[in-house]
Structure 1
């Protein structure tokens, strides 16, 4: 059903091309169009072949647009996708860029908190259809303090970062957490994360992150695959607990 249709995958690091979302898209038959604006690659124009847009995380911050002007290009593309009603999924930085495109200011936590590791996702009433009673989700950020964009539906938060998931229209989603990343990606992040980030208030130590991955990764991954099926079909996913 995805013959000749493209999935536009916007990354901020060429190492980050081994995730669950792209693997899912490939299995579905989409042509994967990887673009890394951080490496000087130009974003394409959206057309009828573009089935969906996924914007991944990165070390950049939304308020660093003067230093990283390609972030403005990414937001222009997100704006075009929203106007065309092309399905959009923003992950961590990608979700923050989507929120900023919709008018929100994105900053660091006012109390200096960070989230590195697995944390309890707490759904709103509107988010229970998507997340059930909640789950442990992988986090890797200190930036990400913003409100629910105007016109969007808040779906979930955590104890320290109240905006973790929102939906704008039927098929545009912003997630602060990382359902796309499995153990290999987590290990890579831990290995290259600056020490000052790893010791921020609220961050879990690396050994706990890896131990929690063994406990929570499968449930998160199974949920994400189910979410992706509904996202691209335009259906509002109904949560089904993993057996």
Structure 2
């Protein structure tokens, strides 16, 4: 049976990028919704096998109805034990749902570009050491109570990947990035590059040449682990 994945985006122009491409190659069906633009979220995961909440320019701390609704909604896949993945904002929403703090750096530092992260003891099967990943964020999150840290940053934002239970993951970085997406972010949000800690645009492009192949391999490995094919899931069960 085809696996159906709920995709939550936050802007009209937002794209699930390479993550969507990888899921489609695996034969998944994608149900794309934008709650910020009025799309509803399902009351149950009965019609979906997994859910991914992507990033966006807003904050998990914003007092916006759709932000609060999404944070609350994360309880649906958690209660029903369906795979959940939060990417950047989606990872911060998972942290907030679990009672952890989402915070800005006290010196207004950001991560924008390619940065190394390292696996913890619990994350060695998922991450290289180091793993260079693409970052585009100004906030980080603390590790919630009961969660397991899988990767750590070597700079300003220590928690880079976590797991809660067996099937819920939150990551700080952007494996969905494609080259057109990078070009758009560098153009439409160029002010981010002027903030402390950000890399200049040419470093982003050099980093993509150096690290994108390894990050593509990481994404494939992670998706195989997070959402195994149905026959593999049955064998594991």
TM-score by length of 1: 0.89
CA shift digits 1:28-50 (9 cap, x unpaired): 22221100111122212223221
1:74: Cα distance to partner? Answer: 0.8
Q: Aligned partners of 1:115, 1:216: CA distance in 2, in Å?
A: 16
1:128 aligned residue:
124
1:239 aligned residue:
none
The aligned runs of 1:40-51 (5 Å cut-off) are 40-51=38-49
Q: Aligned partners of 2:190, 2:37: CA distance in 1, in Å?
A: 21
Contact 2:43 2:76 survives alignment (8 Å): no
* Aligned partner (choices 46, 68, 75) of residue 72 of structure 1: 68
1:215 aligned residue:
210
Q: Aligned partners of 1:55, 1:9: CA distance in 2, in Å?
A: 6
- 3-state secondary structure, aligned to 1:188: helix
1:19 aligned residue:
17
Higher alpha-carbon deviation: 46-55 or 21-30: 21-30
The aligned runs of 1:25-104 (5 Å cut-off) are 25-64=23-62, 66=63, 68-104=64-100
1:10 aligned residue:
8
After superposition, the Cα gap between the structure-2 partners of 1:222 and 1:208, relative to the gap in structure 1 and judged at 3 Å, is same
After superposition, the Cα gap between the structure-2 partners of 1:18 and 1:55, relative to the gap in structure 1 and judged at 3 Å, is closer
Q: Aligned partners of 2:113, 2:81: CA distance in 1, in Å?
A: 33
Q: Aligned partners of 1:149, 1:47: CA distance in 2, in Å?
A: 23
- 3-state secondary structure, aligned to 2:218: helix
Is 1:227–2:222 an aligned residue pair? yes
TM-score by length of 2: 0.92
Q: Aligned partners of 2:227, 2:4: CA distance in 1, in Å?
A: 12
- 3-state secondary structure, aligned to 2:46: coil
Gaps of 5+ in 2: 233-237
Contact 1:124 1:156 survives alignment (8 Å): yes
CA RMSD of aligned residues (A): 1.6
Q: Aligned partners of 1:132, 1:216: CA distance in 2, in Å?
A: 12
1:18: Cα distance to partner? Answer: 4.8
Contact 2:110 2:137 survives alignment (8 Å): yes
Runs of 4+ in structure 1 off by over 6 angstroms are none
Contact 1:75 1:101 survives alignment (8 Å): yes
- Provide the aligned length of Structure 1 versus Structure 2: 229
